[in-house]
Amino acid sequence: MLHLKNDDPAVAKLIHKEQTRIEGTLDLIAAENHAPCSIREALGSVFTTKTIEGYPGKRYHAGCGHADEVERLAILRCRSLFGAEHVNVQPHSGTSANLAVYFSVLNVGDRVLSMTLSHGGHLSHGHQASITGKCFEVKNYGVKKESGRIDYQAVADMAQTFRPAMLIAGASSYPRLIDYEKMSEIARSVSAYFLVDMAHIGGLVAANVIPSPVPHADFVTFTCYKTMMGGRGGVILCRQKFAEKIDKAVFPGCQGTSPVNTIAAKAVIFKLAGTPAYKQVQARTLENAAHLAEALQKKGLRIISNGTDTHQVLVDVTPRGLDGGRAEQVLESAGIVLNQNVLPDDEGRKGAVSGIRIGTAGLSTRGMGTKEMELIADWLDRIMANHLDDGVIQDVRREVADLCCQFPVYGTEE
Ligand code: DSN
């Protein structure tokens, strides 16, 4: 960072501080991971200055030869990784990818059936706070309160009465596998398009440690920075018959130029995702999440859906006299970084949320295993049980720092 230190010491210092924070804390945010250095090199490359519009071979600016090659490489690798018929690697984010899918085949005012936010769904699935909720008529399905699992019969019944033009499966806080076959049957029964948003679980699917939605869905979207372990940005996979519509919906429909450095980073992660090392990390991510859920349950904490099939564990913190926001705050002061999360029980309630969402991708990429999950479960429990005791918080902070030293993310960089 020699140039940055010279041009802008203030930003250089903040980057250094952020690196120290990452090395010295435990990242349990389910929507994050630690990207390999090669991804960071691709993101910081000269491709960041290239302006592209259009697609490889059909651009609107000169000098796109290498950008064309890198986009073709990303597409080719992604298609083979997921067995998809068509791939678009230009979306800026998961929400941008979802927008493009909607506007590829839907008209404003069409009906969309998706999972409710408080049961695990995502803002971009038609929530009123998102433009998607303003453009479409949206109804939501949810989970059964007792089991925390999707109520497929309710989805089928709602589809019959509501007759949506699109059914969406996929979530940002749902720790269980989704029955894509069943959901696609429901979509077909009402001639609806079927979209799966696998933003959170893309890396687990890529490594083949959980089932893939690709054979069942018309469209699949995901982001590259969660379990996928890459840089930023979104991706759309679709059936060949929608290829042209999707490409037009991304550019010029929803976006202008797409960052080529991000496309280059996508190409890199699609290559790395085929390696045994990547598969091992994804398998460990699953094992760690299951172990952590069990360890927390043994301490008497309520785990939503009674466990997990993915990288996520959803915990009700209210029996410890906390709400999700306070738990997030006090855990961060002990070096444990995660986010407060709405739980199915919070539906319709205003104010504080009842849960925290834990993800094991970052810990697993760092090399941690079940032994470390035991320690982390213990710290989570100790902090929540003693959230007013600064001595306990500082003790745990020291233990967290020791563990972080044993599992460096990037090590010392300048
Ligand atoms: N969708 C948001 C989340 O799950 O936290 C950010 O990726």
Domain ranges for the chain, please list them. Answer: 40-272, 281-413
Give yes or no for residue 26 having a pLDDT over 70: yes
Report the distance separating Cα 111 and Cα 192, nearest Å: 9
- The pick from 33, 96, 115, 172 for probing ligand 1's pocket by mutation, whose C-beta has the most ligand atoms within 8 angstroms, reads 172
Give yes or no for residue 42 having a pLDDT over 90: yes
Do the Cβ atoms of 166 and 183 come closer than 8 Å? no
Report the distance separating Cα 155 and Cα 187, nearest Å: 10
Atom of ligand 1 nearest to the CA of 339: 5
* pLDDT at residue 49, rounded to an integer: 98
* pLDDT > 70 fraction of the chain, expressed in percent and rounded: 99
Instruction: Kindly report which listed range (159-163, 290-294, 348-352) carries the lowest average pLDDT score.
Output: 348-352
Which CATH superfamily is 281-413 part of?
A: Aspartate Aminotransferase, domain 1 (3.90.1150.10)
Tokens 């091992």 — which residue? 280
Q: Whose CA is closest to atom 5 on ligand 1?
A: 31
* pLDDT at residue 414, rounded to an integer: 53
The mean pLDDT value for 111-127 works out to 97
Structure tokens at 67: 């950008």
Q: How many CB atoms lie within 10 A of CB 413?
A: 11
* pLDDT at residue 169, rounded to an integer: 98
**Binding site membership of 31 for ligand 1 (Cβ less than 6 Å):** yes
* pLDDT at residue 387, rounded to an integer: 96
Q: How many CB atoms lie within 10 A of CB 394?
A: 12
Distances (CA, A) of 400 to 163, 164, 290, 385: 51, 48, 21, 17
* pLDDT > 90 fraction of the chain, expressed in percent and rounded: 98
Q: How many CB atoms lie within 10 A of CB 32?
A: 20
Give yes or no for residue 413 having a pLDDT over 80: no
Instruction: Express each pLDDT in 244-294 by its tens digit.
Output: 999 999 999 999 999 999 999 999 999 999 999 999 999 999 999 999 999
* pLDDT at residue 349, rounded to an integer: 87
Instruction: Express each pLDDT in 191-202 by its tens digit.
Output: 999 999 999 999
Atom of ligand 1 nearest to the CA of 172: 4
The mean pLDDT value for 142-148 works out to 95
Do the Cβ atoms of 164 and 172 come closer than 8 Å? no
The strand pairing partners of 316, in sequence order, are 302, 355
CA of 64 to the centre of ligand 1 (A): 32
The overall longest dimension of the chain from CA atoms, in Å, is 63
Per-residue pLDDT band for 411 (boundaries 50, 70, 90) equals: confident
Per-residue pLDDT band for 148 (boundaries 50, 70, 90) equals: very high
**Binding site membership of 172 for ligand 1 (Cβ less than 6 Å):** yes
CA of 230 to the centre of ligand 1 (A): 15
Structure tokens at 77: 């690798």
Cis peptide leading into 252, omega within 30 of 0? yes
- Contacts for 223 with CB less than 8 Å, ≥ 6 apart: 93, 94, 97, 199, 202, 232, 233, 234, 235
CA of 82 to the centre of ligand 1 (A): 22
* pLDDT at residue 348, rounded to an integer: 86
Atom of ligand 1 nearest to the CA of 29: 5
Average confidence score pLDDT of the chain: 97
The mean pLDDT value for 137-142 works out to 98
CA of 324 to the centre of ligand 1 (A): 16
- Tell me the CATH number for domain 40-272: 3.40.640.10
